Amino acid sequence: MSWFIVHFAQIVFYFLAACTVAGAIGVVGFRSPVNAALSLLGTFLSVAGLFVLMHAEFLAAVQILVYAGGVMVLFLFVIMLVRVRTIPEEPQYLRSLAPAALGVGGLLAVLVGVGLWAAAQAPLANPAALRQVQGLPLGNTEAVGWSLYRDYLLPFEIVSIVLLVAMIGAIVMGRKEPGKEGGA
């Protein structure tokens, strides 16, 4: 029992990592777009749990509010507007992509291996540096907010305007003209 208590954080990490990978496989593997979107929601929530384990509470909150909340609602609206029930099966197209998929998968495996090796060689970063603003110790959320709204206010506002324009454009493009109920 004491082993379980000592290694509880590792057990939770591996559980959340397995849920994240299973959700990502579900996003790609499910044929129904609604099931794939719900699997993506599970992936987002698992990643938020991983952020909490890394003491990045602000990123976990943003992950839940922005991705699990806003982006998933947007995805579900698109699925409902387009009315896609299932993805049609096209085996000829998938067969021609198999060699490319294996090559890209092998390249990604090599890149991940090199990245892990380089991370093992590098010295560990100081996590306390992420919680200081001008030498004063603050919490993680305060440090991110201070930096975001003081140092990066203009880029933050520009990104919000770009996202607003994109959302309005998607609504305009998704609207149906009166009298054209059938597809073109």
Per-residue model confidence as pLDDT tens for the chain (184 residues): 677 677 888 889 999 999 999 999 999 988 888 888 889 999 999 999 999 988 888 888 888 988 888 888 888 777 777 765 555 666 665 667 778 888 888 988 888 888 778 777 766 656 555 566 666 666 677 777 777 788 888 888 898 899 889 888 877 877 766 666 555 4
From CA 138, how far away is CA 143, in angstroms rounded? 6
From CA 104, how far away is CA 12, in angstroms rounded? 31
pTM, full prediction: 0.58
From CA 13, how far away is CA 17, in angstroms rounded? 6
| pLDDT score, position 69 | 84
Which amino acid makes up residue 129?
Answer: A
Domain 7-86 -> CATH class: mainly alpha
Exposed, middle or buried, 85 (CB in 10 Å: 0-12/13-18/19+)?
A: exposed
Strand partners, 137: 132
| pLDDT score, position 45 | 93
| pLDDT score, position 141 | 74
| pLDDT score, position 127 | 59
